[in-house]
Each structure stands twice: as structure tokens, then as C-alpha cells.
């Protein structure tokens, strides 16, 4: 006897099966598209100097399994046909060219060409990445993909990524692009925060062979005086404010005078400084806006500590920020 419960149960089972098939189909389709995309990149890859190939020609025993490296002039040297210019061709185009050349020596030659190792598209990834060094592009890669080849940003990465490109490859297509003083390179900067968030997707440009990508380590601000944990505070990719710096320093000390705090802004490479009064008491109470800090700024929170000790701490912070010692007579 068919009950309403059985009808509902069978309908639910059928629905779940259909949903499972649909989800599985979507996943399989996505994997196929990814594989097709990767394969397309490989087929479109143009061979270059130092790429290594495995070439097989039926009946030509002189060609061994040893990889064949493309010479500095862009040629490979093969038995019976001599030098073949391979640079600038895809593997499919090179195969067609070899079939044509070997047709003069063999009847219906059978040829295969495979990539063994990429060596013609080096890109240097330097600075605050987890795996710096020289990597191979292996086709078209964006800036984010290249940074991923360096296994991503380190925790101490700064706010900017610098791209340097040989001028003969054309200017970098970014509004920050400029020519370096030697006239040999185009140089541009990209904000890490915008790059990671995708705010400006046009900045995720294609990287060319021999480009140099540099992720500078984060700079610091310094919190000194009557705080619980004085010292340098790393400036993150999205910047630094007075409140964030104070929070990293674990807050005010018991003898602090927050209303008389100041920011000491020093010029890089010199002891020139500007003192900016900051009322931390009002900022903490939400009565005035937070204040943005620049790299190497010094947030000074005064206390009842003798002025001489505070002055010495300030001089030490300025020396750490600028590399210039400040001498005073006490």
C-alpha cells in the first residue's frame, strides 16, 4: 500500500540524486575547463633560449632520450637535418617544421616534440615573499600569479610592490610607471592592499620575462614613553594609525599623560624633525578623529618620568628611524 510518507520519501531521494548529479557535473566541468585552460597555455607557449625539449623521430636512432637545449642563437642541432631555428615557435609548430625537414630524408616521418624544462622566461621575485629567487613564467602570468609562484607574501611585507622592466620591452602599463635614472628600465609601484582586494584589477598586469618583482618589507613606527610595550610597530599593508600603534603597544601605562602626547616626524637620513601635538585622551574617547602615521613616525606618550630619560628614549628612536645619531649635552 502506497502511503503519503513513501511518496514523499521517494520524491526526496530522487531530488537528492538529481542534485548530486548536477553538482558533480558542475565540478567535473570546472575541472575540464581548468585543464583545458592549462593545456592551452602550454600549446601557446613560445619556445626560447635555454628551454629543453624531448624530440623523437621514428627511425633516427641518433636522437636519444637526452633533453635537447635550445642554443643561445635560438637553434637546435639534429641529425640528418642540422640546425633548426626553434625559438619563437610553439611545440606544435616545431613539430610541423621537423616533419617538413625530415620528409626530405625519410618516408612519412613520425615526429613528437615535448617540453622537458622551461628556461627562457625567467622572472625575479625578491624581498618579503616566502620563496624569493628566479622563477620561470611558463607562459602568460599576471602579477598576482607571479607573487604566488614566490609562495605568497611574508607577514612582514610592506604596502608596495615594485615592478622593474627592461626598457626595450616597453613601458609598464601603469599610471605610476617611470623611467629609472639610467634610462634602461621602466619602474612602477602597485599597492599591496589594492592588489589583494582586487580594488583595481587593471593593476594586476601581465608580467614579462626578465621582469623583477620586489616586495619591500614593512616599515615601522615607534611608540615610546608611558606605554606597556614600547618599541617599533610594523606598518601593515593597509597603513597605521595612532590607535592601532597604541593597541600594538598594549595601551597606556599607569603614569601616562595622554592629553600631552605628540608625534615626532623625522626626515629620512637626517635629524630634522617636526613635532605634531596629539590628544590621545580625546582620540580614545572618540571626541576627535584617529591620526594616520607614516613610516618612521614616533608616537611619544609622556609621563612623570624625568625629562632626561624621555629625551634619551626619543633620541634613540630617531636614530633607529633615520640611522642618524642625535647628540645633546645633558
Q: Hey, what CATH topology would domain 52-117 get?
A: wza like fold (3.30.1950)
Environment class of residue 160 by beta-carbon count within 10 Å: exposed (0-12), middle (13-18) or buried (19+)? middle
User: What is the side-by-side strand order in the sheet with 220-225?
Assistant: 231-234, 220-225, 298-301, 261-266, 273-278
The answer to whether residues 212 and 163 touch, using CB atoms and an 8 Å cutoff, is yes
Q: What was the pLDDT predicted at 329? A: 30
Report, as ranges of residue numbers, the positions in the chain whose pLDDT lies below 70.
Answer: 1-43, 237, 268-271, 304-330
CATH number of 122-217: 3.10.560.10
DSSP 8-state symbol, 153: B
Q: What CATH architecture does domain 220-322 belong to?
A: Roll (3.10)
**Which three cell numbers mark 153?**
607574501
The 3-state DSSP class for residue 324 equals: coil
Q: What was the pLDDT predicted at 271? A: 63
The answer to whether residues 133 and 144 touch, using CB atoms and an 8 Å cutoff, is no
Q: Where in the chain is the domain with CATH 3.10.560.10?
A: 122-217, 220-322
Axis-axis angle for helices 91-102, 4-44 (nearest 10): 60
CA pair distance 292, 245, nearest whole angstrom: 10
**Phi/psi at 258 (5° precision):** -60, -30
Q: What was the pLDDT predicted at 14? A: 52
DSSP 8-state symbol, 299: E
The residue to which cell 575541472 is assigned: 31
Q: Where in the chain is the domain with CATH 3.30.1950.10?
A: 52-117
Q: What is the pLDDT of residues 84-113, one digit of tens each?
A: 999 999 999 999 999 999 999 999 999 999
Q: What was the pLDDT predicted at 268? A: 63
Q: What was the pLDDT predicted at 139? A: 81
Predicted structure pTM score = 0.59
Question: Could you tell me which residues come within 8 angstroms of residue 265 by beta carbon, excluding any fewer than 6 positions away?
Answer: 273, 274, 275, 276, 294, 296, 297, 298
Q: What was the pLDDT predicted at 148? A: 92
- Tally of residues, the chain: 330
The answer to whether residues 164 and 210 touch, using CB atoms and an 8 Å cutoff, is no
Q: What was the pLDDT predicted at 235? A: 82
Strands 292-293 and 240-241 turn out to be antiparallel
Amino acid at each position: 500500500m502506497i502511503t503519503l510518507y513513501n511518496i514523499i520519501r521517494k520524491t526526496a531521494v530522487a531530488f537528492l540524486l538529481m542534485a548530486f548529479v548536477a553538482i558533480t557535473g558542475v565540478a567535473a566541468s570546472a575541472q575540464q575547463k581548468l585543464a583545458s585552460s592549462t593545456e592551452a597555455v602550454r600549446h601557446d607557449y613560445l619556445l626560447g633560449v635555454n628551454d629543453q625539449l624531448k624530440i623523437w623521430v621514428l627511425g633516427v636512432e641518433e636522437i636519444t632520450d637526452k633533453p635537447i637545449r635550445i642554443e643561445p642563437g635560438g637553434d637546435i642541432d639534429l641529425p640528418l637535418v642540422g640546425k633548426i631555428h626553434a625559438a619563437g615557435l610553439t611545440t606544435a609548430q616545431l613539430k610541423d617544421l621537423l616533419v617538413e625537414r625530415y620528409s626530405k630524408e625519410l618516408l612519412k616521418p613520425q615526429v613528437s616534440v615535448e617540453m622537458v624544462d622551461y628556461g627562457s622566461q625567467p622572472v625575479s621575485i625578491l624581498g618579503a615573499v616566502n620563496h624569493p629567487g628566479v622563477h620561470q613564467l611558463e607562459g602568460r602570468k599576471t602579477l598576482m600569479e607571479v607573487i604566488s609562484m614566490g609562495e605568497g607574501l611574508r607577514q612582514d611585507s610592506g604596502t608596495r610592490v615594485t615592478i622593474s622592466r627592461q626598457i626595450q620591452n616597453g613601458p609598464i602599463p601603469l599610471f605610476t610607471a617611470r623611467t629609472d635614472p639610467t634610462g634602461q628600465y621602466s619602474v612602477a609601484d602597485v599597492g599591496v592592499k589594492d592588489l589583494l582586494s582586487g580594488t583595481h584589477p587593471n593593476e594586476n598586469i601581465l608580467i614579462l620575462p626578465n621582469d623583477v618583482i620586489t616586495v619591500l618589507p614593512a616599515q615601522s613606527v615607534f611608540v615610546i614613553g608611558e606605554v606597556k610595550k614600547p618599541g617599533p610597530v610594523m606598518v601593515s599593508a593597509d597603513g597605521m594609525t595612532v590607535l592601532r600603534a597604541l593597541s600594538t603597544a598594549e595601551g597606556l601605562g599607569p603614569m601616562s599623560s595622554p592629553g600631552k602626547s605628540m608625534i615626532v616626524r623625522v626626515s629620512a637620513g637626517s635629524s630634522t624633525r617636526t613635532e605634531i601635538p596629539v590628544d590621545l585622551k580625546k582620540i580614545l574617547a572618540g571626541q576627535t578623529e584617529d591620526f594616520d602615521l607614516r613610516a618612521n613616525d614616533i608616537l611619544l606618550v609622556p609621563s612623570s618620568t624625568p625629562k632626561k630619560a624621555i629625551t634619551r628614549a626619543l633620541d634613540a628612536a630617531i636614530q633607529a628611524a633615520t640611522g642618524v645619531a642625535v647628540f645633546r649635552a645633558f
